[in-house]
Chains A and B, each alone.
Chain A
Amino acid sequence: SQQGEEDPQALSIQEGENATMNCSYKTSINNLQWYRQNSGRGLVHLILIRSNEREKHSGRLRVTLDTSKKSSSLLITASRAADTASYFCATDARGYSTLTFGKGTMLLVSP
Protein backbone atom coordinates (compact mmCIF):
# COMPACT_ATOMS: atom_id res chain seq x y z
CA SER A 1 0.00 0.00 0.00
CA GLN A 2 1.13 3.55 -0.61
CA GLN A 3 2.21 5.47 2.45
CA GLY A 4 3.23 8.72 0.83
CA GLU A 5 1.52 11.08 -1.51
CA GLU A 6 3.61 13.45 -3.58
CA ASP A 7 2.32 16.80 -4.63
CA PRO A 8 2.12 17.98 -7.32
CA GLN A 9 1.72 14.93 -9.54
CA ALA A 10 3.42 16.82 -12.37
CA LEU A 11 5.52 19.96 -12.50
CA SER A 12 6.78 21.82 -15.56
CA ILE A 13 9.41 24.56 -15.22
CA GLN A 14 12.14 26.30 -17.17
CA GLU A 15 15.85 25.71 -16.73
CA GLY A 16 17.26 27.84 -13.97
CA GLU A 17 14.05 27.89 -11.95
CA ASN A 18 13.61 26.14 -8.63
CA ALA A 19 11.43 23.06 -8.31
CA THR A 20 9.62 22.18 -5.11
CA MET A 21 7.78 18.93 -4.54
CA ASN A 22 6.04 17.76 -1.42
CA CYS A 23 5.43 14.42 0.20
CA SER A 24 2.93 13.54 2.89
CA TYR A 25 2.80 10.30 4.80
CA LYS A 26 0.42 8.68 7.24
CA THR A 27 2.26 6.82 9.97
CA SER A 28 5.31 7.43 12.15
CA ILE A 29 8.57 7.06 10.31
CA ASN A 30 12.20 6.34 11.06
CA ASN A 31 13.65 7.91 7.92
CA LEU A 32 12.42 9.57 4.76
CA GLN A 33 14.31 9.36 1.50
CA TRP A 34 13.98 10.88 -1.92
CA TYR A 35 14.73 8.98 -5.09
CA ARG A 36 14.85 10.00 -8.75
CA GLN A 37 13.78 7.80 -11.64
CA ASN A 38 14.51 8.55 -15.29
CA SER A 39 12.09 7.19 -17.88
CA GLY A 40 11.05 3.99 -16.09
CA ARG A 41 14.59 3.00 -15.25
CA GLY A 42 16.12 2.28 -11.86
CA LEU A 43 15.78 4.54 -8.85
CA VAL A 44 18.67 6.78 -7.93
CA HIS A 45 19.09 7.57 -4.23
CA LEU A 46 19.19 11.33 -3.69
CA ILE A 47 19.05 12.07 0.00
CA LEU A 48 18.00 10.59 3.35
CA ILE A 49 16.66 12.57 6.27
CA ARG A 50 16.14 11.01 9.67
CA SER A 51 13.03 11.59 11.76
CA ASN A 52 14.97 13.72 14.25
CA GLU A 53 16.33 16.04 11.52
CA ARG A 54 14.48 19.02 10.14
CA GLU A 55 16.54 20.00 7.13
CA LYS A 56 19.29 18.55 5.01
CA HIS A 57 21.26 19.78 2.02
CA SER A 58 23.13 17.98 -0.72
CA GLY A 59 24.42 20.05 -3.62
CA ARG A 60 21.41 21.67 -5.28
CA LEU A 61 18.99 19.64 -3.16
CA ARG A 62 17.35 20.79 0.03
CA VAL A 63 15.03 18.52 1.97
CA THR A 64 12.88 19.49 4.91
CA LEU A 65 10.94 17.23 7.22
CA ASP A 66 8.04 18.20 9.49
CA THR A 67 7.09 15.15 11.53
CA SER A 68 4.24 17.01 13.25
CA LYS A 69 2.59 17.51 9.86
CA LYS A 70 3.87 14.21 8.49
CA SER A 71 5.27 15.94 5.46
CA SER A 72 8.51 16.57 3.62
CA SER A 73 9.57 18.79 0.78
CA LEU A 74 12.32 18.49 -1.81
CA LEU A 75 13.70 21.65 -3.35
CA ILE A 76 15.90 21.49 -6.42
CA THR A 77 17.56 24.83 -7.05
CA ALA A 78 18.67 26.13 -10.45
CA SER A 79 17.03 23.23 -12.31
CA ARG A 80 18.63 21.76 -15.40
CA ALA A 81 17.11 19.81 -18.28
CA ALA A 82 18.93 16.75 -16.91
CA ASP A 83 16.77 16.98 -13.76
CA THR A 84 13.77 15.89 -15.83
CA ALA A 85 12.61 12.72 -14.09
CA SER A 86 10.10 11.33 -11.64
CA TYR A 87 10.80 11.94 -7.97
CA PHE A 88 9.62 9.62 -5.23
CA CYS A 89 9.64 9.86 -1.48
CA ALA A 90 10.05 6.66 0.50
CA THR A 91 9.59 6.07 4.20
CA ASP A 92 10.57 3.33 6.57
CA ALA A 93 9.29 2.67 10.05
CA ARG A 94 11.42 2.00 13.11
CA GLY A 95 12.40 -1.64 13.26
CA TYR A 96 11.48 -2.28 9.66
CA SER A 97 13.70 -2.09 6.62
CA THR A 98 11.05 -2.12 3.92
CA LEU A 99 10.41 1.10 2.06
CA THR A 100 6.97 2.47 1.32
CA PHE A 101 6.83 4.76 -1.68
CA GLY A 102 4.56 7.55 -2.79
CA LYS A 103 3.25 7.76 -6.33
CA GLY A 104 5.83 10.32 -7.38
CA THR A 105 6.07 13.74 -8.98
CA MET A 106 6.96 13.99 -12.67
CA LEU A 107 9.27 16.95 -13.20
CA LEU A 108 9.84 18.38 -16.67
CA VAL A 109 12.57 20.98 -17.01
CA SER A 110 12.54 22.72 -20.37
CA PRO A 111 15.68 24.32 -21.84
Chain B
Amino acid sequence: KAGVTQTPRYLIKTRGQQVTLSCSPISGHRSVSWYQQTPGQGLQFLFEYFSETQRNKGNFPGRFSGRQFSNSRSEMNVSTLELGDSALYLCASSLEGQPYEQYFGPGTRLTVT
Protein backbone atom coordinates (compact mmCIF):
# COMPACT_ATOMS: atom_id res chain seq x y z
CA LYS B 1 0.00 0.00 0.00
CA ALA B 2 1.18 3.49 -0.75
CA GLY B 3 1.84 5.64 2.29
CA VAL B 4 0.51 9.05 3.15
CA THR B 5 1.49 11.61 0.56
CA GLN B 6 1.74 15.35 1.04
CA THR B 7 2.14 18.09 -1.51
CA PRO B 8 4.02 20.25 -1.94
CA ARG B 9 7.07 19.11 0.02
CA TYR B 10 8.56 22.60 0.29
CA LEU B 11 6.97 26.00 0.10
CA ILE B 12 8.20 29.55 0.54
CA LYS B 13 5.63 32.26 1.10
CA THR B 14 5.63 35.90 2.12
CA ARG B 15 3.96 37.32 5.22
CA GLY B 16 0.32 38.11 4.57
CA GLN B 17 -0.13 35.52 1.85
CA GLN B 18 -2.19 32.38 2.20
CA VAL B 19 -1.22 28.80 1.56
CA THR B 20 -2.97 25.49 0.92
CA LEU B 21 -1.37 22.15 1.74
CA SER B 22 -2.65 18.82 0.53
CA CYS B 23 -2.67 15.35 2.03
CA SER B 24 -3.69 12.00 0.55
CA PRO B 25 -4.19 9.30 3.18
CA ILE B 26 -3.37 5.63 2.96
CA SER B 27 -6.02 3.81 0.95
CA GLY B 28 -8.85 2.77 3.25
CA HIS B 29 -7.99 5.30 5.94
CA ARG B 30 -10.82 7.72 6.52
CA SER B 31 -9.39 9.76 9.36
CA VAL B 32 -6.86 12.49 8.64
CA SER B 33 -5.07 14.58 11.26
CA TRP B 34 -2.77 17.55 10.85
CA TYR B 35 0.11 18.55 13.08
CA GLN B 36 2.49 21.48 13.16
CA GLN B 37 6.10 20.93 14.17
CA THR B 38 8.39 23.77 15.18
CA PRO B 39 11.69 23.76 17.10
CA GLY B 40 10.17 25.81 19.90
CA GLN B 41 6.75 24.21 20.37
CA GLY B 42 7.44 20.72 19.09
CA LEU B 43 4.61 18.71 17.58
CA GLN B 44 1.20 20.23 18.08
CA PHE B 45 -2.18 18.97 16.96
CA LEU B 46 -4.06 21.18 14.51
CA PHE B 47 -7.22 19.29 13.57
CA GLU B 48 -8.69 15.94 12.66
CA TYR B 49 -11.18 15.09 9.95
CA PHE B 50 -13.32 12.02 9.53
CA SER B 51 -15.91 11.50 6.81
CA GLU B 52 -15.59 15.11 5.68
CA THR B 53 -16.32 16.44 9.18
CA GLN B 54 -13.93 18.10 11.57
CA ARG B 55 -13.89 15.86 14.61
CA ASN B 56 -11.31 17.62 16.76
CA LYS B 57 -9.50 20.92 16.70
CA GLY B 58 -6.34 22.04 18.43
CA ASN B 59 -5.58 25.39 19.97
CA PHE B 60 -4.73 27.37 16.85
CA PRO B 61 -6.15 30.66 15.58
CA GLY B 62 -8.92 30.75 13.03
CA ARG B 63 -6.37 31.51 10.30
CA PHE B 64 -5.77 27.78 10.25
CA SER B 65 -8.53 25.81 8.60
CA GLY B 66 -8.98 22.55 6.83
CA ARG B 67 -11.36 20.33 4.99
CA GLN B 68 -11.74 16.77 3.85
CA PHE B 69 -13.14 15.52 0.60
CA SER B 70 -15.33 12.50 -0.09
CA ASN B 71 -12.26 10.49 -1.17
CA SER B 72 -10.70 11.22 2.28
CA ARG B 73 -8.08 13.55 0.83
CA SER B 74 -7.58 16.58 3.01
CA GLU B 75 -6.34 20.11 2.63
CA MET B 76 -5.34 22.65 5.20
CA ASN B 77 -5.24 26.37 4.61
CA VAL B 78 -3.40 29.09 6.46
CA SER B 79 -4.43 32.64 5.70
CA THR B 80 -2.58 35.86 6.43
CA LEU B 81 0.70 34.07 7.01
CA GLU B 82 2.95 35.15 9.85
CA LEU B 83 6.65 34.47 10.32
CA GLY B 84 5.78 32.15 13.19
CA ASP B 85 3.84 29.90 10.85
CA SER B 86 7.13 28.65 9.44
CA ALA B 87 7.09 24.98 10.34
CA LEU B 88 6.90 21.41 9.16
CA TYR B 89 3.26 20.50 8.64
CA LEU B 90 2.57 16.82 9.03
CA CYS B 91 -0.48 14.92 7.95
CA ALA B 92 -1.41 11.53 9.39
CA SER B 93 -4.08 9.03 8.52
CA SER B 94 -5.64 6.20 10.46
CA LEU B 95 -8.25 3.50 10.24
CA GLU B 96 -11.75 4.12 11.51
CA GLY B 97 -11.46 1.62 14.33
CA GLN B 98 -7.97 2.72 15.42
CA PRO B 99 -7.88 6.49 15.15
CA TYR B 100 -4.98 6.74 17.58
CA GLU B 101 -2.64 4.58 15.46
CA GLN B 102 -1.63 7.26 13.01
CA TYR B 103 0.66 6.96 10.01
CA PHE B 104 2.43 10.10 8.93
CA GLY B 105 3.36 11.57 5.60
CA PRO B 106 6.74 13.18 4.83
CA GLY B 107 5.46 16.65 5.69
CA THR B 108 5.40 20.01 3.97
CA ARG B 109 8.15 22.40 4.98
CA LEU B 110 6.65 25.93 4.96
CA THR B 111 8.94 28.93 5.20
CA VAL B 112 7.39 32.36 5.64
CA THR B 113 9.62 35.33 4.83
Question: By the criterion CB–CB under 8 Å, are A40 and B104 in contact?
Answer: no
Q: Which residues from A are CB-within-8-Å of B37? A: 40
For B104, list chain A residues within 8 Å (CB).
35, 42-45
In Å, the complex CA distance between A42 and B107 comes to 6
In contact, A40 and B109 (Cβ under 8 angstroms):
yes
Binary contact track A1-45/B, C-beta < 8 Å → 1, others 0? 110000000000000000000000000001101010000111111
Q: How far is the CB of B74 from chain A (nearest CB, A)?
A: 15
Secondary structure at chain B's binding surface: helix, strand, loop or mixed? strand
Q: How far is the CA of A100 from the CA of B104 in the complex (A)?
A: 14
A: contact size bracket: 20 to 34
Q: List 29 A-B contacts (CB under 8 A).
A: A1-B44, A30-B100, A31-B100, A35-B104, A40-B37, A40-B88, A40-B109, A41-B106, A42-B90, A42-B104, A42-B105, A42-B106, A43-B90, A43-B104, A44-B104, A48-B101, A90-B43, A97-B55, A97-B100, A98-B33, A98-B45, A98-B48, A99-B35, A99-B45, A99-B100, A101-B35, A101-B42, A101-B43, A102-B42
17 further contact pairs, Cβ within 8 A, besides A96-B56, A98-B45, A102-B42: A2-B42, A30-B100, A35-B104, A42-B90, A42-B104, A42-B105, A43-B92, A48-B100, A88-B43, A97-B31, A97-B55, A97-B56, A97-B94, A98-B58, A99-B35, A99-B45, A103-B42
Measuring CB to CB, which residues of chain B are less than 8 angstroms from any residue of chain A? Answer: 4, 31, 33, 35, 37, 42-45, 48, 55-56, 58-59, 88, 90, 92, 94, 99-107, 109
